[in-house]
Chains A and B, each alone.
Chain A
Amino acid sequence: MTSLLLKHPFFVGAVVLWLLNESLVGQDDFLSVEDLFEDDDRVAAETIADPIEGFNRAMFGFNDYVYKKLLAPVSKGYSAITPDPLERGFSNFFDNIKYPVRLTGNILQGKVEGAFQETGKFLVNTTLGVAGFHKASNDFPNLNPPIEDIGQAFGAWGIGEGFYIVIPFLGPSNARDLVGRLADRIPDVTNTPWTVLDSSTDRILFWTTDVLTDSPALVYRYESFTQAAIDPYEAMKDGFTKYRIQQIRE
């Protein structure tokens, strides 16, 4: 090979050039439009278990009414009278106070780094962020872990999602996440037995304010989603399921 290269360098170079060209021409190929309509386009989309579809559709209709006719007007009124910085401040405060739930979600999945990041985020926002009203952690790129909850921990442990269920007022869920939601209440500092709120009236007022502060973003997202959908029920079912799969994968 060496003697061939020494005796006929131009010939060897030409062969190399030809091989290189072949490989580059190969890379330069393109797909036809038909190539993109793979086999999965020809078959039905995979199904999500929905044995109580009748109940779920009724609850979806109920929630749709509540969001559009009750929550949206209240939310728009709240946004109109609340200055933007104050609105953000309230939203940050309620987000910060849910730290124990996110921490539990991290610990149950063995996410040590996430648990440390959540703790750091809580400490920074509570101190530098003045009791959580300012999201000071935004200035620290390492203090932005994915949001975890107990339902995600169940998913990470290999527990299947079970059947789809629409919860009145709360929206889409599934059997696994419904149990997760209930379990999320255990480390929640606004719930008994740890609660820092003395009376049930205080707790209801607190939760109502929490929903109200989240409502502008929630209503905006909900309207975006349903406006673009042909079948909002199916779109929400698929969207929620895939979103949770993504969260668990993270």
Chain B
Amino acid sequence: MLSKSTLKTFLLFTALSLPVAVLQSAELPEVQLKKTIEAVIEVLYKVDDSESLETKRAEVLSVLDQSFSFDVIIRRTLGRNWEKLSPDQQNQIVTLATDLLIHSYTREFTAGRKPTVAFEKPLELSTNKIEIASVLSLENTNINLTYRLAKLESGWQVYDLIVEGVSLVSNYRKQFDAHFQKKNGDELIDQLEAKLDAL
């Protein structure tokens, strides 16, 4: 029979351990990101190469969706111009711009032999925001890619990508700002569609 004090100590220890166990059960953001990027490379460098690049891109998008919040990324690139668009235009632009980004992102990964990626430790930017630097080693060159992640209700999600010091969100925002100085949302949709057709 347990003594009263032993029982209390046992209960206290168990209660203290609970929240720690709950926290440990959630996957660390760096682990999740690493898995996602490695899965993308696996899709693009499958041994069975019978799949078309289009099929691979669709697979890449579904893999990236686990760690990348494209809705947030595209909306951030539009910045203040987001409010100038109708809900229908917003949806169309998010879909088209995501397609364009996937094309661009996968192209970087498909130059020559299968690349390797080395990740650094996460750096806390502010509460619930971190960045994880990585080096993508391609056949002839290394590319510095830094992922910025935020903890959203759905988990840790990438909300910006920094390529060699250039923020993807900031770079596209410059372009969209220039576009909306002279043109409108429909013209942007036409332009995005023309871009995708030409790829």
Contacts and interface: CB of A to CB of B under 8 A. Distances in A.
Interface stretch (A16-24, A109-117, A148-156, A189-197): A16-24
Contacts of B72: 33, 36
A227 B103 contact: yes
Interface string B56-82: 000000000000010110011001101
A31 B150 contact: yes
Nearest to A225: B104
Given A20-B16, A24-B19, A37-B75, A231 B175 contact: yes
B8 interface: yes
Interface stretch (B30-38, B39-47, B164-172): B164-172
A234 interface: yes
- Residue among B71, B75, B192 facing the most chain A CB atoms (10 A cut-off): B75
Interface residues of A, number: 46
A139 to B, nearest CB: 14
Contact of B164 (A36, A228, A235, A246): A246
B76 A41 contact: yes
Chain A interface mostly: helix
B174 interface: yes
Interface string A196-240: 000000000000000000000100100010011111001101110
Contacts of A242: 165-167, 170-171
A243 B165 CA distance: 5
Interface string B143-186: 00000001111000001000011110011111111110000000
B103 A228 contact: yes
Contacts of A9: 5, 8-9
A207 to B, nearest CB: 21
A245 interface: yes
A238 B167 CA distance: 9
Nearest to B160: A36
B173 A30 contact: no
B152 A31 contact: yes
B28 interface: no
B175 A234 contact: yes
A140 B47 CA distance: 32
A57 to B, nearest CB: 11
Q: Is the interface of B mostly helix, strand, loop or mixed?
A: helix
A7 interface: no
Nearest to A245: B165
Contacts of B8: 9-10, 13
B150 A45 contact: no
B165 A246 contact: yes
A33 B103 CA distance: 25
B2 to A, nearest CB: 14
Contacts of A31: 128-129, 150-152
A127 interface: no
A9 B4 CA distance: 12
B136 interface: no
Contacts of A217: 140-141
A237 B175 CA distance: 10
B128 A235 contact: no
Interface in B115-132: 127-129
Given A44-B177, A45-B174, A230 B191 contact: yes
A235 B174 contact: yes
A243 to B, nearest CB: 5
Nearest to B154: A30
Contacts of A230: 172, 175-176, 179, 188, 191-192, 195
19 contacts: A9-B8, A10-B12, A30-B152, A31-B128, A33-B72, A41-B82, A224-B104, A224-B108, A227-B103, A227-B107, A228-B103, A228-B107, A230-B175, A230-B195, A231-B178, A238-B174, A239-B166, A242-B170, A246-B165
Which 9 pairs show the lowest CB-CB distances between chains A and B?
A: A246-B165, A228-B104, A231-B175, A13-B12, A230-B175, A41-B79, A242-B166, A238-B174, A24-B19
Given A9-B5, A230-B191, 8 more contacts: A9-B9, A29-B127, A217-B141, A224-B108, A228-B101, A234-B175, A242-B165, A242-B170
